[in-house]
Structure 1
Amino acid sequence: MDHDDWKARQILYSLRQGRLSRREAFTALRTAGLSLAALRLLGGSAWADAAASGAVGPGGIPLARPNRPVKLPVFKDPIKSGLKPETGGTFNIFNYADYVDKKLLDAFAKKYDVNVQVTTFDSIDQAITRLATKAVRNMDVTEITSNRLAQAVAGKLLQPINKDYIPNLKKNCWPQFMSPFYDVDAQYTVPYTIYTTGIGWRSDKVSEDIPKLENPWSIFWNAEKYKGYVSVLDDSREAIALALLYRGEYDINTEDPKIIDKALQDLLALSGICNPKVNITGYQTIPEGSCWLGHNWSGNMLSGVLAFMPEGGDPTQIQYWCPPPGKGPIQNDMWAVCTDAKKPVLAHLWLNFLLDEDNAYHNFVDYNGYQPPLTSITPERLVDSKLIPPNLQSTIMTPAQLGPDSLQEAALTNDGLKLWQSAYARFTGG
């Protein structure tokens, strides 16, 4: 073993013992004049490339991208295999409201002899803040998104999973989720839903043929006649991405202050044009008619037809457009086990429960409208069975849309995250 290799391994040992952070380890290696080959001992080429370029997020974790996968650090061992599930008491779920069918919650509670309690949040920003500040405690599982996963790992808010308890991951899910770009080897997460971001509208209220517009996103900046009946997603990444895409900016992970500020100015201009509401409830507001034109997730539109259509409503009036692959956002939500889970075995079984084919299917078509990325759920099956109305076939995705060229809102540096959140706060604050 040469001197450089020995020194790199000593730094690695200090890192694993918790005496050095990742950032401190990188600094130590640079100070010692070690090569990128030595840096790779700390976690692969993505870590070396990130250290060389400074492209790191919270905790010094490299910024994962669809074409640049990252393996996350592990701060503790997963739970041991073969443990019995905890019973009695309360199983705590942290999630968006109206995102899991109560029938599934009740079935899980009955199967494992526990009370199930759902604590809700309005956005992933809020969820991370509440977990980090202990505003919520003893959550067993949480829903999370890929762009905030590394931050949650760096903050030690999540624990690594033992996939022995989650056989449905390998058995039922799309192959990409065995080792997604944001969580190589699926050390922390299993997928829940997948969705695109686009435009939902009522064809009986909006006269424009939105898909045929030269720039469909421009409809929001030409919506004076729909003032008071327009909405923008209450999500710091999605709202700003809307303005970026309106201007033809496809880097939806940019950290250029000038580009972000331009996006902010465009969003602020909407107030005078159409006075949009900022929410995530398009699944309800569009079917009921309190919103006619909305920046929306694909699942919201399908959910609106499947579960929230008022009696006597016409589901053929609900429309959805999203850009072609590589030109518009495609995201997936996922589940993870919280570090301070009081029922960690049961938490793993919850992840497996949601990936059961029947449970996932009925949660999707009977309730939330958000497609789970299971191999058994295909566009052909859904259309042939007439579960998906022809006017909403654009809401269904395939594995091919998740390639290395896909457009996904991914992790940002600490400064970049502050930049986006600050701009969004100015937008929502008027």
Structure 2
Amino acid sequence: MVKTHIKYTAAFLFLSAAGVFLTSCSKKKTLNIYTWTYYAPTDVVEAFEKEYDCDVVITEYDSNETMFLKLLYGGAGSFDIVFPSQDYVEILMNKNMLQPVNQELFTNKDKINPKILEKATYDPEMKYAVPYYFGASGISVNKTKVKGTYERTWNIFADPQFKGRASMMNDYREVIGDALKYKGFSVCTKNKSELKDACTHIQKYWKPNIVKFDAEGFGKDFANGNLWLCQGYAEVIYGEVPEEEWDEKIDFFIPESGGPSYLDSMCILKDSSQRDLATQFINYIHEPENYAKFLDFFRFPCFVNPEAEQYMETTPMYPASVLENCELKYYIGDNKKDYSDQWEKIIN
């Protein structure tokens, strides 16, 4: 997901006859955005530049860890807006690396779904973090390969008909979170007994059928028929299977119990001198017509900004309603080691 939009507006004029060297530089403001790859719709960004007579420069990252380390070690002063996921919003807030959104300029505040703010317990009033996209991984079944019925819960990975044809992501918060949800526990539990119970279930019932833990190549393997059952993000599967085969081949669902989920938000960095322009960008994104263009590009469901749904021109990969029971993967602090220790036992 790579999209970089950079403009250089300085021009130089050399007047040799007068012996004068002049440099003509644009008086436009520049907004520097640090975000996930391909995450900002090009046409929306360009329209914002025109309306607010500014330049937008976008730099991309591929993980929250990459983003955070860059900001922590000298890069924070280079950017105005960043798009962290929920656990990193908490970290950035705790480290006093953000400044408040200008609420007077955030006139589209009422467009944000109250249900997502109930989940964003770290900042339900959007003082520092304005929700951008709420999503979750789910289950994909290759209908052309599976002839019988199957369980529509996370325990589908215990079904022997998928032995040697199943994969789960190489992500302990996702896989362990699925088992915790299946067991009726929180995906952020700090209870060691609950954590052990979920991980024992993975090892005993799921792992025997799983051919690999993979967060990148499962889409291709699903598309070519090597995998019949995958846990992962819908956009990876739909991105590899030709659109004319979607209905025939893909059964994507998120179990009724819900599962681990993420919420990427737009935040203004503390060192930014463009607070008002940054807030105006955030507000512009949440004009329903603009937000719909973002959703259309990925075929994402419309959960964060419900009014945008009426402007969408594509059908989402799955309905927004299935996200309601999903639980955000909050920052687990010192309990991270408990999860990683259990994960090592699972994958080794």
TM-score range, shorter chain: 0.7 to 0.9
- Structure in which a larger fraction of residues adopt helix: 1
- Which residue is equivalent to 2:168? 232
- Which residue is equivalent to 1:351? 282
- Which residue is equivalent to 1:411? 330
Q: Does 1:142 align with 2:82?
A: yes
Measure, in 2, the Cα distance between the counterparts of 1:223 and 1:105. 49
Sort the Cα spacing of 1:279 and 1:101 in 2 relative to 1 into closer, same or farther, 3 A: farther
- Which residue is equivalent to 2:154? 217
Sort the Cα spacing of 1:354 and 1:235 in 2 relative to 1 into closer, same or farther, 3 A: farther
Per-residue deviation, residues 337-361 of structure 1 (Å, max 9, x unmatched): 1223354333222211221111111
Sort the Cα spacing of 1:156 and 1:428 in 2 relative to 1 into closer, same or farther, 3 A: farther
Sort the Cα spacing of 1:185 and 1:282 in 2 relative to 1 into closer, same or farther, 3 A: farther
Q: Does 1:114 align with 2:60?
A: no
For the residue of structure 2 that corresponds to 1:119, the secondary structure is: strand
For the residue of structure 2 that corresponds to 1:116, the secondary structure is: strand
- Which residue is equivalent to 1:249? 184
Q: In the TM superposition, what is the alpha-carbon distance from 1:271 to its structure 2 partner?
A: 5.7
8 Å CA contact 2:258–2:327 kept in 1: the answer is: no
Count of equivalent residues: 319
8 Å CA contact 2:137–2:231 kept in 1: the answer is: yes
Of all paired residues, the percent bearing the same amino acid is 17
Per-residue deviation, residues 355-376 of structure 1 (Å, max 9, x unmatched): 1111111211233524342232
- Which residue is equivalent to 1:388? 315
Measure, in 2, the Cα distance between the counterparts of 1:346 and 1:175. 25
For the residue of structure 2 that corresponds to 1:242, the secondary structure is: helix
Sort the Cα spacing of 1:101 and 1:368 in 2 relative to 1 into closer, same or farther, 3 A: farther
TM-score normalised by the chain length of structure 1: 0.61
8 Å CA contact 2:187–2:259 kept in 1: the answer is: no
- Which residue is equivalent to 2:254? 322
Partner residue of 2:35 out of 86, 89, 94: 94
Sort the Cα spacing of 1:356 and 1:290 in 2 relative to 1 into closer, same or farther, 3 A: farther
8 Å CA contact 2:31–2:80 kept in 1: the answer is: no
8 Å CA contact 2:289–2:308 kept in 1: the answer is: no
Q: In the TM superposition, what is the alpha-carbon distance from 1:162 to its structure 2 partner?
A: 1.2
8 Å CA contact 2:80–2:272 kept in 1: the answer is: yes
Q: In the TM superposition, what is the alpha-carbon distance from 1:219 to its structure 2 partner?
A: 2.3
For the residue of structure 1 that corresponds to 2:83, the secondary structure is: strand
8 Å CA contact 1:91–1:343 kept in 2: the answer is: no
Deviates more, 1:352-361 or 1:125-134: 125-134
> Partner amino acid for 2:112?
C
- Which residue is equivalent to 1:200? 140
Q: In the TM superposition, what is the alpha-carbon distance from 1:282 to its structure 2 partner?
A: 6.6
Sort the Cα spacing of 1:407 and 1:166 in 2 relative to 1 into closer, same or farther, 3 A: same
- Which residue is equivalent to 2:96? 156
Measure, in 2, the Cα distance between the counterparts of 1:364 and 1:255. 34
8 Å CA contact 1:194–1:372 kept in 2: the answer is: yes
Q: In the TM superposition, what is the alpha-carbon distance from 1:422 to its structure 2 partner?
A: 4.7
Q: In the TM superposition, what is the alpha-carbon distance from 1:220 to its structure 2 partner?
A: 2.1
Q: In the TM superposition, what is the alpha-carbon distance from 1:244 to its structure 2 partner?
A: 2.0
> Partner amino acid for 2:125?
D
Structure 1 residue runs without a partner (length 5+): 1-85
Q: Does 1:294 align with 2:256?
A: no
Sort the Cα spacing of 1:418 and 1:344 in 2 relative to 1 into closer, same or farther, 3 A: farther
Q: In the TM superposition, what is the alpha-carbon distance from 1:115 to its structure 2 partner?
A: 4.2
Structure 2 residue runs without a partner (length 5+): 1-26
Measure, in 1, the Cα distance between the counterparts of 2:254 and 2:271. 39
Question: Structure 2 matches for 1:75-86, cutoff 5 A?
Answer: none
8 Å CA contact 1:329–1:409 kept in 2: the answer is: yes
8 Å CA contact 1:199–1:293 kept in 2: the answer is: yes
For the residue of structure 2 that corresponds to 1:243, the secondary structure is: helix
Q: Pairwise CA RMSD of aligned residues?
A: 3.8
- Structure in which a larger fraction of residues adopt strand: 2
Q: In the TM superposition, what is the alpha-carbon distance from 1:164 to its structure 2 partner?
A: 1.9
Per-residue deviation, residues 259-301 of structure 1 (Å, max 9, x unmatched): 334544555676653222421677777557675422234xx35
Measure, in 2, the Cα distance between the counterparts of 1:327 and 1:344. 36
Measure, in 1, the Cα distance between the counterparts of 2:50 and 2:225. 37
Measure, in 1, the Cα distance between the counterparts of 2:218 and 2:320. 17
Q: In the TM superposition, what is the alpha-carbon distance from 1:153 to its structure 2 partner?
A: 0.7
Sort the Cα spacing of 1:90 and 1:327 in 2 relative to 1 into closer, same or farther, 3 A: closer
Q: In the TM superposition, what is the alpha-carbon distance from 1:410 to its structure 2 partner?
A: 5.0
8 Å CA contact 1:140–1:343 kept in 2: the answer is: yes
8 Å CA contact 1:267–1:427 kept in 2: the answer is: no
TM-score normalised by the chain length of structure 2: 0.73
Per-residue deviation, residues 44-70 of structure 1 (Å, max 9, x unmatched): xxxxxxxxxxxxxxxxxxxxxxxxxxx
